Amino acid sequence: MTISVNGTPRSFAGDPRTSLLDFLRRECGLTGTKKGCDHGQCGACTVLVNGVRINSCLSLAAMHDGDAVTTVEGIGTLASLSPLQEAFVRHDAFQCGYCTPGQVCSATALLDELALGWPSFVSGDLAAAPEFTDAEIRERMSGNVCRCGAYANILAAIREVLGREVVDARQQPQPQEQAA
How many folded domains does the chain comprise? 2
**Is 176 a member of any domain?**
no
Chosen domain end from 24, 46, 72: 72
User: Residue 83: which H helix or E strand, with range?
Assistant: helix 83-90
Structural domain containing residue 19:
2-72
Best-predicted range by mean pLDDT (34-43, 115-124, 170-179): 34-43
Q: CA 112, CA 114: separation in Å to the nearest integer?
A: 5
Does the model's pTM come out above 0.85? Answer: yes
- Where does the pLDDT of residue 164 fall: very low under 50, low under 70, confident under 90, or very high at 90 and above? low
Whether 140 and 164 map to the same domain: the answer is yes
The enclosing domain of 163 has a CATH number of 1.10.150.120
Find residue 111's DSSP bridge partners.
Answer: none
pLDDT in tens, 112-142: 999 999 999 999 898 998 988 999 999 999 9
Strands 2-5 and 68-70: what pairing? parallel
- 3-class DSSP state of 54: strand
**Is 109 a member of any domain?**
yes
- The CB density around residue 137, as the number of other CB atoms within 10 Å, is 24
| pLDDT confidence of residue 132 | 86
Chosen domain end from 72, 91, 121: 72
Question: How much is the mean pLDDT over the chain?
Answer: 90
Whether 90 and 159 map to the same domain: the answer is yes
Whether 27 and 48 map to the same domain: the answer is yes
In this predicted structure, the answer to whether residue 159 has a pLDDT above a threshold of 80 is: yes
In this predicted structure, the answer to whether residue 57 has a pLDDT above a threshold of 90 is: yes
Output the CA angle 11-13-19, nearest 5 degrees. 90
Q: CA 104, CA 157: separation in Å to the nearest integer?
A: 10
Q: Average pLDDT, stretch 41-62?
A: 98
Output the CA angle 90-132-158, nearest 5 degrees. 15
Interacting residues of 143 by C-beta distance below 8 A, sequence separation 6+: 43, 46, 55, 106
pLDDT in tens, 66-86: 999 999 999 998 899 999 999
